[in-house]
Amino acid sequence: MVCTVMWSFQMQTMTANEAKTRFGELLDMAQREPVRVTRRDRVVGVLVSAQDYDAMRVYFADRLRHSLRDAAAAASVAGLTDEALAALLADES
């Protein structure tokens, strides 16, 4: 949910050269909202605050945990056993 809200607005943009020469300002801007960095009219990075980065990591780790749990449940319902899984993982072909 954090990421949906965070990316739903128009981000500030700086060129890579501006980011280099105005680095302190870039850091200040990123504390308020994500800042897109471009080079040759292409987005090459996005700077976010440490707090936003940590929130994104937690969000995506939780999403991955749920996906893995759901996949394991579906595999179990489909009849995949621990032994069959071990055999599939051991197959090097």
Q: Which amino acid is at 81?
A: T
Structural domain count of the chain:
2
Residues 49 and 26: beta-carbon distance below 8 Å: no
Residues 58 and 37 in one domain: no
What is the total residue count of the chain? 93
Residues 59 and 85 in one domain: yes
Residue 58 in any domain: the answer is: yes
Residue range(s) defining the domain that contains residue 73:
53-93
Spell out, as residue ranges, where the chain has pLDDT lower than 50: 1-5
The model's pTM is: 0.66
The angle subtended at Cα 78 by Cα 73 and Cα 83, nearest 5°, is 85
Given this model, what pLDDT does residue 10 score?
Answer: 82
Distance CA 31, CA 24 (A): 11
Residues 61 and 44 in one domain: no
Residue 61 in any domain: the answer is: yes
The token pair at 14 is 């700086």
Given this model, what pLDDT does residue 8 score?
Answer: 54
